[in-house]
Chain A
Amino acid sequence: MRPSTRLDENTLQGLWQRLLQGEGGVMESLMQAVFRSLFHYGTKFTTDHELVKDCIQDVFVDVWLHRSAVDAHIPAKAYLMASLRRKIHRKSIKQGYFQPFGEADELRFQADFTVQDAIISDEATRQTAYRLKQLLDLLPKRQQEVIYLKFFHDLDREHIAGVMGVAPQTVSNLLQLALQKLRQYASELPLLSLLLPLLS
């Protein structure tokens, strides 16, 4: 999904630098630019949308409060997504309702992949799309998160590592595993793929 206002990367980065240098007036434009992306990402960890919005508020207030300590070399979106992920994790533990998605202290990623039928013009393409959707659904959660950040938020390997709090090599491995599985399934299950649209 697209964020509400798509600023180009340079404009966004410019606003971020100005905020870090103490220019509070840019907060509104900056938040407008990234709010939807952050909200979408946050709701992959909890169904409590109010909690996600509260956490986004906290993230931005924290950035403002500790702006001199923020590493200005990290792109705004990657920094904010990483902070939001940690914030949701901590707040959920504190409020004692870590479920429904997670085990005791692990944050679990939960995404539903969908196919927009209206965009597709022919049956073969529709089958390909549904087959891939089904394969994505079957991936382990961590691989799904890597795919989600890479394909729907255009983050690169280093920044995905920063957001998920793992080493860049781990991201490469997860991505490799995911793509391998997607291709393997794709070649192994030609018959199943015909049935998948009916099953989904």
Chain B
Amino acid sequence: MTDYSTYTADDFVFDDAFRRWVRGSATPAEQMFWETYGIDHPEQAAMLAQARQVVLALQAAEPELSHAEVTATIRRTVERMGDVQPDVPVRSLPVRRWDQHPAVRVAAVLVVILGLGWALWPTVQPDERTVSYQQLTRQADQQLTEQHNATSQPQQLTLPDGSRVTLQPGSRLSYPARFALDSRTVYLTGDAFFNVVRNPGQPFLVHANELVTKVLGTSFRIRAYEQARETMVEVRTGQVSVSVRPGVVTAGKTAGSQEQAWQGVVLTPNEKVVFSRPEARLTKMLVEEPAMLIDKPAEVAFAFTDAPVTEVFQALEKAYGVDIIYDREVMRQCLLTISLTDESLYDKLTIVCKAIEARYEVLDAQIVVSGKGCQ
């Protein structure tokens, strides 16, 4: 591998592998290399950040070309293809019954598999209450670029503002070649993790099914398949606001009210919201595996000696950014000597609760601990 330790920002800008990584077309090996290179060489961090911005910012000016122009030219080409005679003689195939043809057999198996999948997969039929990706991208007032992950591996891409997106197989993301000055708007169908570059003056908006997710700079995941009954937004860092598009009739708080208010929630780390499309209802809850909010979770030790359990709860609340509800008066009497490290949040809670003969439940986005206390 090239020795990058003596590289300046300019050298990185002109390095093929570095450019591929920044522009999102790196091989998985290169991807891995650059992700770790920055961590291993903190002394070059500023240089790498600078080179990265230069690669993204320095472009060749390209003329506008509307989607309609592309489609029209392709249509004319396909029409012309029909007029020309192919120069390859059509080979005659041996005659066989249609159902003996291998393609027919494969197709038959596929029909069965797809049929089963269709029946088992919770789906929603499009109606006036649902909003499709097609509709969203068609209504966009900017010319959009689409990334479709047709592979079986997650794909990394970098948006014009430097934000990074991991697109799961089968998912599509549309975004303008240049973001508008007042907002960064993208459109998603499928499953993607976003790591958004912070820019309070230019909020980042993700339109996915009936939800609009708005952030200033954070990381979060959205799962919004066209046919799925549920759309989900999960927050890793920062704050995210999620609202239902105006015009979508929602249940819950706004039910019964005359005006169509926006239904929305604010999510903090380790929270997620699930939108049930048939009921048009938002439900806030905790993510399945809450992660610690600090950078190096391995180094955090929860060690307590004869401490009130309320202190343990407070430490967990702080580390994971969750709310733990308990009766302070009752729990204050429970003293605990315990050392917790890399267990998951729920495992930690199980251990603590076992020690004080209590139990916990996760209700919406809160954890409720109940027990008799310690006398």
Contacts and interface: CB of A to CB of B under 8 A. Distances in A.
Interface in B80-119: 80-81, 84, 86-88
B77 A57 contact: yes
23 contacts: A3-B145, A7-B148, A8-B150, A11-B150, A22-B86, A24-B78, A27-B78, A39-B70, A61-B80, A61-B84, A65-B84, A65-B86, A67-B87, A67-B88, A69-B87, A115-B59, A118-B179, A118-B181, A118-B202, A119-B160, A125-B57, A128-B10, A152-B60
The 4 closest A-B pairs by CB, nearest first: A112-B61, A1-B62, A119-B57, A116-B57
A64 B155 contact: no
Interface in B16-40: 16, 19-20, 23, 25
Interface of B: 9-10, 13-14, 16, 19-20, 23, 25, 50, 53-54, 56-63, 65, 67, 69-70, 73-74, 76-78, 80-81, 84, 86-88, 145-148, 150-151, 155, 157, 160-162, 177-179, 181, 202
Interface string A1-34: 1111111101100000000001010011001100
Contacts of A49: 63, 65
A28 B54 CA distance: 35
A27 to B, nearest CB: 6
Interface residues of A, number: 60
A112 B178 CA distance: 17
A115 B61 contact: no
B161 A119 contact: yes
B53 A120 contact: yes
Contacts of A40: 60, 62-63
Contacts of B178: 116, 118
Interface stretch (A82-90, A164-172, A178-186): A178-186
Contact of A132 (B10, B19, B87, B179): B10
